[in-house]
Amino acid sequence: MKSKKEISSRKLLGIAGMGWMFDALDVGMLSFIIAALKVEWDLTPGQMGWIGSINSIGMAVGALIFGLMADKIGRKHVFIITLLLFSIGSGLSAMTTTLTAFLVLRFFIGAGLGGELPVASTLVSESVPAEKRGRIVVLLESFWAGGWLVAAIISYFIIPKFGWQIALIISAVPALYALYLRMGLPDSPRFTAVKEKEKISAFQSIKNLFAKNYRRQTTMLWILWFCVVFSYYGMFLWLPSVMIMKGFSLIKSFEYVLIMTLAQLPGYFTAAWFIEKFGRKFVLVVYLTGTAISAYFFGAAESTALLMVSGILLSFFNLGAWGGLYAYTPEQYPTIIRGTGSGMAAAVGRVGGVLGPLLVGNLVARQVSISTIFMIFCIAVLIGALTVFVLGKETKNTELV
């Protein structure tokens, strides 16, 4: 028989994870939609890059604004607002007929998504016991793999036959159910305990991130987030398109990316186990190093076998590292500035998410080789791993304050 606290943790994980899954569904499907829009709207590589980048611009703005709001009005309310913004924007984008309208709506979808992710991990971190906090947050992140998997399935079966518009509508409607479930969630007990005692301005919250006690953590997180997001969006939003550039058909590229996506789940689950056994730093350094090596071989692959193996390992290690990142980030700050700290780190990361897809589009237009492009991401990920190794402090089993 489970205790009430354990049942509550499981319920929170399920409700938060469902929203996370729909967010991933949208981002995952965007990579396939970009490939489809290239054909339908005759997009240039630069325009394709902008679709991914405008999404990340919205995520940067959303992470900053909603992170600050989470420390003012509570984690739960921001959790609801961000999913509402995302689901409405996603539904409306299915009706667009021009690139400009599509880009505007992608900005608002990105804002909802960018605000939700750090706030969700903060809410879950503050609501579960220290000894299982890392594992629960990584398992929360594992819903992202579920969303990507559903995105790959929908894209493979729906987009070629029924069009990308139907795929977007399919992704938007269930998100409203997740919104309904969220309404009944309690807010973070830690936020509730401190919100009346300690009220500080948004400016003071940001200033505190650079106070002597938190300067090192803030520097480490900003570099880490930038490197991880820059490489992730640069590589994964272009994955189906890169497969096409390597000579595969649209259908075949979707099929291979679907297989690669399956590897995300064991990546998360192994990270969830290691994070409580060996610690946050171990997971981040090992999984980021694995990501860098896989990225190198994926970019250099000339045979289908090497392409598939390196692509599977890339998904495995990269998404495991993301789980560690979301578990580690809220643990760097006290409750009163945790939303702000997590949100700003994510916002800095999203700047990398803007530059990654744009860089790939620009380099592809200049006919730079795929191997050279992926070497850039390999180096970026190694910088992130080194930053955690040198500046990071282990937070396993520490109580949040």
Nearest CA to 246 out of 291, 304, 293, 297 is that of 304
Cα separation, 115 vs 61, in Å, equals 8
Please tell me the least confidently modeled range out of 33-47, 68-82, 185-199, 217-231. 185-199
CB atoms within 10 A of CB 102: 19
Contact 83, 19 (CB under 8 A): yes
Q: What is the DSSP letter of 332?
A: G
Helical segments of 1-44, H only: 4-40
106-130: burial string, b at 16+ Cβ within 10 Å, e else: bbbbbbbbbbbbbbbbbbbbbbbee
Cα separation, 177 vs 84, in Å, equals 11
CB atoms within 10 A of CB 178: 20
Q: What is the pLDDT of residues 72-86, one digit of tens each?
A: 888 888 988 888 888
Calculate what percentage of the chain has a pLDDT beyond 90: 35
Contact 114, 106 (CB under 8 A): no
Cα separation, 23 vs 19, in Å, equals 6
pLDDT of 255 > 70? The answer is yes
pLDDT of 141 > 70? The answer is yes
Q: What is the pLDDT of residues 297-349, one digit of tens each?
A: 998 888 888 888 998 999 999 989 999 999 999 999 999 999 999 999 999 99
Q: What is the DSSP letter of 98?
A: S
- Which pLDDT band, with edges at 50, 70 and 90, does 289 fall under? very high
Over residues 131-152, mean pLDDT: 86
Please tell me the least confidently modeled range out of 54-68, 131-145, 165-179, 204-218. 165-179
pLDDT of residue 250: 65
Cα separation, 389 vs 377, in Å, equals 19
pLDDT of residue 3: 45
Q: In terms of pLDDT, which residue wins out, 16 or 377?
A: 377
Q: Which two tokens stand for residue 118?
A: 């750090």
Q: Mean pLDDT across the chain, nearest whole number?
A: 86
Over residues 223-234, mean pLDDT: 94
Upper half-sphere CA count for residue 243 (Cβ side, 13 Å): 26
Q: What is the pLDDT of residues 90-105, one digit of tens each?
A: 889 989 989 999 999 9
pLDDT of residue 144: 82
pLDDT of residue 198: 64
pLDDT of residue 285: 98
Q: pTM score > 0.75 for this model?
A: yes
pLDDT of 88 > 90? The answer is no
Contact 24, 146 (CB under 8 A): yes
pLDDT of residue 153: 84
Q: What is the pLDDT of residues 147-200, one digit of tens each?
A: 878 888 888 888 888 888 998 888 777 667 777 777 777 888 888 877 666 667
Q: In terms of pLDDT, which residue wins out, 398 or 184?
A: 398
- Phi and psi at residue 28, to the nearest 5°: -65, -45
Q: What is the DSSP letter of 155?
A: H
CATH homologous superfamily of 8-181+200-391 equals: MFS general substrate transporter like domains (1.20.1250.20)
Cα separation, 275 vs 286, in Å, equals 11
pLDDT of 4 > 70? The answer is no
Over residues 339-365, mean pLDDT: 89
Over residues 271-277, mean pLDDT: 92
Cα separation, 13 vs 147, in Å, equals 15
Give me the amino acid identity at 309. Answer: V
Give me the amino acid identity at 268. Answer: Y
Cα separation, 243 vs 252, in Å, equals 9
pLDDT of residue 169: 86
pLDDT of residue 24: 81
Q: In terms of pLDDT, which residue wins out, 43 or 240?
A: 43
- Which pLDDT band, with edges at 50, 70 and 90, does 2 fall under? very low
pLDDT of 295 > 90? The answer is yes
pLDDT of residue 47: 87
Nearest CA to 352 out of 212, 197, 202, 237 is that of 237
Q: Give the Å distances, CA to CA, from 97 to 38, 86, 107, 241.
A: 13, 19, 16, 21
pLDDT of 393 > 70? The answer is yes
Q: Give the Å distances, CA to CA, from 321 to 264, 347, 376, 381.
A: 10, 18, 18, 10
Q: How far is CA 129 from the centre of its chain?
A: 24
For the chain, what are the domain ranges?
8-181+200-391
